[in-house]
Structure 1
Amino acid sequence: MNATDRTPADLLRSALAADPGRPLVTFYDDATGERVELSVATFANWVAKTANLLQGDLAAQPGDRLALLLPAHWQTAVWLLACASVGVVADVGGDPAAADLVVSGPDSLDAARACSGERVALALRPLGGRFPQPPEGFADYAVEVPGQGDRFAPFAPVDPEEPALVVAGAELTGAEVVEKARADATDLGLTGPGSRLLSGLPYDTWRGLSAGLYAPLATGGSVVLCRHLDGLGEESLAKRVENERVSATAL
């Protein structure tokens, strides 16, 4: 990636310029049997649409806080990069009552209602499916995002020295996220472009976020992100590592 990249959104732009067709995020949910593979271009398109929803329909501004109540999931990764694109602070597992807006999965809707601002709900169904019945008081992400624009331009430049991410109580600027992600590469076994990391870690710690998104993005690699991996036996895991051409694991 480019040495001049200062924010996670910069990293994604560089990845898109370098090789838009390569895989970036491959997601497995071993409770449902779902597998989704997103190339850099497809992932960037989801990010652009989500950033347009965030900036436009939800009227989010740089510095606003978004409580992100989602598990390790490909759509969570999209929201993290959309927040970085707008300049919104993604507070992973944050207090909805203290946030300007909230994004929730189906299991945290009651807690998310404490947010007095805009509320978005994700069903987390296979293929990004919508809720059978939209939760009261929430916009259904799967309904709202398809019609958004495929290109995104922020109303104001994103300052890399401003807060961008809060996880496990630690606040990081965009520049710090990029710096830490690059520094993690060796420890995670990412040796450079083309490296493929399988992560079964949750997104509630920096290590989980780094392994499951930021470090592969920062080094030109890709991630095989696995949810409910504890239900997979050793033989099946070994087969996945082989089939997905995984070069390192974080479990």
Structure 2
Amino acid sequence: MNTTDRTPADLLRSALAADAARPLVTFYDDATGERVELSVATLANWVAKTANLLQDELSAEPGDRLALLLPAHWQTAVWLLACSSTGVVAELPGSSADPAAVSATASAADLVVSGPDTLEAARACSGERVALSLRPLGARFPQPPDGFTDYAVEVPGQGDHFTPYSPVDPDAPALVVGGEELTGAQIVERARADAGARGLGPGSRLLSVLPYDTWEGVSAGLFAPLATGGSVVLCRHSDRLDASALTERKKSERVTHTAG
């Protein structure tokens, strides 16, 4: 990857320039049977649309705090990179966090993005609220939650290309995870170090069953593979698989490394 990249959004742009067609995120939900594979180009398109939604429809500005109340999921990866693209700070309390802590994160945030299981906690946010159904193929809610924008309804009409109104500062806060605040530059630096420690390189395929509530989880589940030209097989509800099924998945997905 480009050594001058200093934010996760920079890493995505470099990946797009290098090989837009290669897989970047393959997602499994073993509670629903869903499998989604997103190439670099497809993920980048979702990120651009989401960043336009953030900047133009939700009026988010650099430095705003966004409570990201989502599990490890391909759409969470989209939101993390969209926040990086706009300079919005993504705060991940984690799906397994105490409900009171999740609600406190939402209350202190400028805007909130919630899955179906955290809608009540998300109502503590007095700013814009966005809800994701997390249904297969990014489907909308059968009935939109009261007081929330349905992401699946709003995002398709957004532009396919994104340009921030002002350049994103790589040394500004970008992510809060596990109680630690990181800048965009620190995310990139740590992701590269993690990739080196795991032995990742171009073409590596990392299977992760870790939640997105720690740095290790978001690094393995997105940033480290992105930083090195690799890809991730992100598994949710993998505890429903037996050992032989997980072994078969690693074989069929050509997994070279595992996390969790």
Please give the range of the TM-score, normalised by the shorter of the 2 chains.
Answer: over 0.9
Aligned to 1:199: 208
1:85 is paired with a residue of what secondary structure? helix
Q: CA deviation at 1:71?
A: 0.1
Q: Deviations over 1:76-95 (max 9, x none)?
A: 00000000000000001260
In structure 2, distance between residues paired with 1:170 and 1:43: 26
- 1:8 pairs with 2:11: no
Q: Deviations over 1:27-53 (max 9, x none)?
A: 000010000000000000000000000
236 and 189 in structure 1: CA distance in 2 versus 1, 3 angstrom threshold: farther
RMSD: 0.6
In structure 2, distance between residues paired with 1:186 and 1:163: 24
Q: Which contiguous aligned blocks of 4+ residues in structure 1 show a shift greater than 3 angstroms?
A: none
Q: Contact conserved, 1:9 with 1:85, CA < 8 A, in 2?
A: yes
1:10 is paired with a residue of what secondary structure? helix
Q: CA deviation at 1:186?
A: 2.7
In structure 2, distance between residues paired with 1:106 and 1:4: 38
In structure 2, list runs of 5 or more residues that go unmatched: 94-101
Alignment map for 1:199-238 (pairs within 5 Å): 199-238=208-247
- 1:138 pairs with 2:148: yes
- 1:169 pairs with 2:192: no
In structure 2, distance between residues paired with 1:8 and 1:140: 26
1:146 is paired with a residue of what secondary structure? helix
Q: Contact conserved, 1:123 with 1:130, CA < 8 A, in 2?
A: yes
- 1:100 pairs with 2:124: no
Q: Contact conserved, 1:73 with 1:225, CA < 8 A, in 2?
A: yes
Q: Deviations over 1:116-164 (max 9, x none)?
A: 0000000000000000000000000000000000000000000000000
TM-score w.r.t. the length of structure 2 is 0.95
In structure 1, list runs of 5 or more residues that go unmatched: none
Q: Contact conserved, 1:188 with 1:211, CA < 8 A, in 2?
A: no
TM-score w.r.t. the length of structure 1 is 0.99
Q: Contact conserved, 1:188 with 1:249, CA < 8 A, in 2?
A: no
Aligned to 2:65: 65
Q: Contact conserved, 1:87 with 1:164, CA < 8 A, in 2?
A: yes
